[in-house]
């Protein structure tokens, strides 16, 4: 997919820190008009949000889309249950995967693709505290090695 036809509107960086991200899926999102306007202006927060499969439908919960500044009395509620648009086979697969112990659906980013708002959700397993500590240590060691190589190159 060319980079010029998709623009990231919101990124959930804490998802990679708190979870081991396994499979990723692209889903459409059912939004109202004021939600689309607000999302396109970047006023969306995915940090505390998650997705779940209920019955035969997938839903996005706890995503905060701020009210549209030029909206009237028909403005949307900032936090509400929003339907995810996925193929039947994907929903069935997600339902099976989330039944497994410790797996959840986490939104990783919301973006504009060919004029449509899409969301990337990942099947994720929660990290334990020691996993987070090891990841931070590895990241620190990598940064130190990179800095040492840069110093060496300057000499």
pLDDT tens, 51-83? 888 888 889 888 877 777 776 667 776 778 888
Q: Where are the beta strands (DSSP E) in 4-92?
A: 6-11, 19-29, 44-45, 50-54, 57-61, 64-65, 82-85
Considering the domain boundaries, does residue 155 fall inside one? no
Considering the domain boundaries, does residue 112 fall inside one? yes
How many domains is the chain partitioned into structurally?
1
Considering the domain boundaries, does residue 138 fall inside one? no
What one-character DSSP code corresponds to residue 68? Answer: P
Phi, psi of 32 (to 5 degrees): -85, 170
* Residues of the domain holding 13: 3-128
- Average pLDDT of the residues in 16-27: 85
Considering the domain boundaries, does residue 33 fall inside one? yes
Which distant-in-sequence residues (6+ apart) come within 8 Å of 90 by Cβ? 25, 27
Considering the domain boundaries, does residue 142 fall inside one? no
Considering the domain boundaries, does residue 150 fall inside one? no
| Integer angstrom CA distances of residue 60 from 72, 82, 133, 147, 152 | 25, 5, 29, 41, 49
Strands 44-45 and 103-113: unpaired
Is 25 strand, coil or helix? strand
pLDDT tens, 29-58? 888 887 788 888 877 888 888 888 888 888
Considering the domain boundaries, does residue 20 fall inside one? yes
CATH of the domain at 89: 2.40.280.10
pLDDT band at 87 (very low <50, low <70, confident <90, very high): very high
* Mean of the per-residue pLDDT values of the chain: 82
């Amino acid at each position: 997919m060319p980079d010029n036809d998709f623009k990231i509107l919101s990124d959930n960086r804490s998802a990679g820190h708190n979870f081991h991200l396994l499979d990723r899926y692209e889903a459409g999102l059912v939004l109202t008009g004021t939600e689309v306007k607000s999302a396109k202006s970047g006023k969306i927060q995915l940090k505390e949000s998650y997705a779940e499969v209920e019955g035969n439908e997938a839903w996005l919960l706890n995503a905060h889309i701020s009210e549209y500044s030029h909206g009237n009395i028909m403005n949307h509620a900032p936090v509400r249950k929003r339907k995810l648009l996925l193929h039947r086979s994907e929903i069935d697969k997600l339902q099976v995967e989330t039944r497994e112990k410790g797996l959840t659906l986490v939104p990783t980013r919301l973006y504009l693709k060919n004029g449509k708002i899409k969301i990337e959700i990942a099947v994720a397993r929660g990290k334990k505290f020691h996993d987070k500590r090891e990841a931070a240590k590895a990241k620190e060691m990598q940064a130190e090695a990179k800095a040492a190589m840069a110093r060496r190159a300057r000499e």
